[in-house]
Structure 1
Amino acid sequence: MEIGDRSVGFLMLLSSVSIFAYYTFWVIILPFVDEDHFVHKYFLPQQYAILVPTFAGVLLLCSLTIFVGIVMLKGRNRKSHAN
């Protein structure tokens, strides 16, 4: 199982670094590149640079809240059955 864990960890690291590099280039470097340069066709418009992370953050926060709520409800049910 150790090899599987390492490969999953490597894929997660690779995807995180790729997303970070893409977003950094998109937000920091791309505004200084001419509008007619070919590299602009590989990126979304600038207004999405705020919308995408905001949506991802809200989705993450909602998921964590639901998870914590489910865990708390399961813990309450176990305590009530133990008494």
Structure 2
Amino acid sequence: MELADKTIGFLLSVISLSIFTYYTFWVIILPFVNTDHFIYNYFLPQEFALIIPVYAGVALLSLLCIFIGSVMLKSKKKST
């Protein structure tokens, strides 16, 4: 099981680093590149650079609130 945990951890690290690198290049470096450059074919329009994190944050907060609410309801049922 230890090897599987290390493999999953490595894959999650690689995926997180890839997403971070892509987003950083997209938001910080790409605005300084000419719009007719071929690299623009690999990136979404700039509007999505703000829309995607906002929706992801709202979804994360919603799931967190649902989880905390369900835990509070379960703990209230156990105490009575």
Identity across the alignment (%): 56
AA partner of residue 69 (structure 1): G
2:6 corresponds to which residue? 6
1:57 corresponds to which residue? 57
AA partner of residue 36 (structure 2): D
2:45 corresponds to which residue? 45
**Alpha-carbon distance in 1 for matches of 2:48, 2:38:** 19
2:31 corresponds to which residue? 31
1:78 corresponds to which residue? 78
CA displacement 1:12-54 (0-9 Å, x = unmatched): 1111100000000000000011111111011011111000001
Name structure 2 gaps, 5 residues minimum.
none
Name structure 1 gaps, 5 residues minimum.
none
SS in structure 1 opposite 2:35?
Answer: coil
**Alpha-carbon distance in 2 for matches of 1:12, 1:76:** 36
Cα RMSD between the aligned structures? 0.6
Aligned residues: 80
**Alpha-carbon distance in 2 for matches of 1:14, 1:53:** 19
**Alpha-carbon distance in 2 for matches of 1:2, 1:79:** 38
Matches within 5 A, 1:11-26: 11-26=11-26
